[in-house]
Chains A and B, each alone.
Chain A
């Protein structure tokens, strides 16, 4: 294998991994606060993609595309928290989990009924080579992911909101006792998580020039694997795991090809981590 091939594969893996990280980050944030697996998160991701696509087809404006898609995802995510997860607080964790799977299926079917079963084209990022081996979509995806995570880093580490999230994740009752307004702060976590998922949906739709109702299916299960790899409820571990998984998948697909299904990489890694390092790749900072 020569260096240029390896470089091209790494760049591709970084782009795919960025999407995993953006999607899984919200999942792990929500898990850390509410201790539920928000499977419908992948539905929010598809909603974001459709919102962006709709804005793009109607206006052709790139800025509007991102704003509308992200906002729509945030609205749907916060709505789900208020209407679904909040009332189910205190129920055994299986209840919101099963409900969440149902919600995910419902969101996909709703999109199908509204917009048809077809793949729709979303030609925001023409696949132009920029600087070999980089292409425009790759640079756009990795670049926006880095920017977003810088922003997220500031929010989680430099604001009272981020500090409160950590407190809630560590000990919910204690956090409530010291006067942290739980419902409001978990709702804001949902807003951030859903916004990131919405952007991920838009980016993935643009990257492959395809959006379709069931586009959340693969992220739905892969994000779970990423969350486990990163250590349940450990946001930055999830980001590292997502990017790493993207790169490993890309290289494995190129060289193992049909001998090993690429979709299996995530789960093989997840099984290994559960067996030998159940706390996740990076030791969990939040859970201590």
Chain B
């Protein structure tokens, strides 16, 4: 009797199980690993990127999944900490046996995670981290975002295009800031800008008044300042309070509705190089912006759009390869050209796995990010 009951339970469980995945084949779901800083100083970005990835997963599943299999996200909170990123990457690969990993974290953590995945032959797609070494010489590591040095170059080109010459640089002292500064300086030299002031500040810094007070003394035409939204808000606010009226040029670290909220009126007119163009007519962009707002109740940011695009590009590559084998998917990804994503037009992926893609400059106007201009010049955008 007991045996019969057990058998009956088993059958029932199987029946219920298959009911739950109605519409999908009997094959198990494809597990996708996600690393995101859901707590700690980068928690706002962590939440954004995860929401973006979740929207992509829902969109993919609604259209029948990848290779007819449902996408299942396995998320770990790496707190943007390299040590945690390494151990969670191992976990995702060895314990969870994920098909590939979306790196939704900062440069430091992604820089630690990507070699682990690469060595195991598991594809790693960094959603928005900018440091070149995340992908360099790692055949299985790719990136969705704009490379730091490229973005730095776009910043310098913007200063040039604004017909300004003397520029002050304030750099956040980490992998993100250093990558941006390197690109900015390289291109500044090329187009004849004069760097009249350069300082760095530690991540999490709140008081910029000392550095800005000295910066004011050299009277630059523009300020190029890297940092994330929390630092950037203080930087911009204090610069304006000190009476510095020159253009402030930021980069994608500013790209969050939180920046506008925290900086208040001081955010108006701030320019930033990023990849999410709110005024794009592309349905991929507009569709995402709408879905994000419906789901999160706040406007989308670059980080969310990057996470969304990262999973969609990976899904597309798997479909194209028609199997999950990393080697095949890698080649399929490399062969993608002229792709419209939520974070710009991707011309192609380089040998290192970095996208050659358009960049946008957004400006804060009436408390919203708006398009200032787009850069499509390949000689500027190629890594």
Q: Measuring CB to CB, which residues of chain A are less than 8 angstroms from any residue of chain B? A: 2, 5, 8-9, 12-13, 16, 112, 116-119, 121, 123, 126-129, 132-133, 135, 137, 208-210, 212, 214, 218, 249-251, 253-255, 257-258, 261-263
Main secondary structure of the interface of B (DSSP, over half): helix
Is there contact, CB below 8 Å, between B41 and A214? yes
Most chain B beta-carbon contacts within 10 A, residue among A123, A132, A257: A257
> Given the complex of chains A and B, what is the CA–CA distance between A210 and B263 in angstroms?
9
Closest to B261 in A: A121
Question: Do residues B241 and A2 form an inter-chain contact, with CB atoms below 8 A?
Answer: no
Query: In the complex, are the beta carbons of B217 and A2 less than 8 A apart?
Result: yes
Are the CB atoms of B41 and A257 closer together than 8 Å?
no
Residues of B within 8 A of A126 (CB): 264-265
Known contacts A128-B241, A209-B262, A261 near B209 by CB under 8 Å: no
Which of B39, B233, B241 sits near A129, CB closer than 8 Å? B241
CB distance from B112 to the nearest CB of A (A): 22
B residues near A255, Cβ cutoff 8 Å: 214
Report which of B39, B210, B229 forms a contact with A251, defined as CB distance below 8 A. B210
- Smallest Cβ distance from B30 to chain A, in angstroms? 30
Q: Report the bound CA distance from A135 to B208 in whole Å.
A: 14
Is B237 engaged at the interface, CB distance under 8 Å to the other chain? yes
A249 to chain B, nearest CB (A): 8
A138 to B40, CA, bound (A): 29
In the complex, how many angstroms separate the beta carbon of B290 from the nearest chain A beta carbon?
23
Output the nearest chain B residue to A11 by Cβ-Cβ distance: B209
Cβ of A112 and Cβ of B209 under 8 Å apart? no
In the bound complex, what is the Cα–Cα distance between A255 and B243 (angstroms)? 20
Cβ proximity bits B39-50 to A, threshold 8 Å, 1 near / 0 not:
111011001000
On whether the beta carbons of B264 and A119 are closer than 8 Å, the reply is: no
CB nearest to A217 among chain B residues: B204
B31 at the interface (CB under 8 A from A): no
Write the chain A residue with the least CB distance to B204.
Answer: A218
How far does the Cβ of A169 sit from chain B's closest Cβ, in whole Å? 33
Chain B residues in 8 Å Cβ range of A16? 207
Chain B residues with CB below 8 A from A121, complex form: 261-262, 264
Q: Which residues of B contact A258 (CB under 8 A)?
A: 173, 199-201
Min CB gap B296→A, angstroms:
12
Task: Give the residues from 161 to 176 in chain B that come closer than 8 angstroms, CB to CB, to chain A.
Answer: 173
Q: Are A209 and B230 in contact (CB under 8 A)?
A: no
- Whether a CB of chain A sits under 8 angstroms from the CB of B266 is yes
Which of these, B44, B213, B238, B263, contacts A118 with CB under 8 Å? B44
Contact assessment for B213 and A5 in the assembled complex, using a CB-CB cutoff below 8 Å: yes
Interface centre among B40, B202, B241 (most CB of A within 10 A): B241
Contact A135 B201 (CB under 8 A): no
A-B contact pairs, 14 of them (CB 8 A): A5-B217, A8-B209, A9-B209, A12-B210, A12-B213, A117-B44, A126-B265, A127-B266, A137-B241, A208-B234, A209-B237, A210-B230, A250-B207, A257-B211
Do A127 and B237 have beta carbons less than 8 Å apart? yes
A112: B residues at CB distance < 8 A: 39
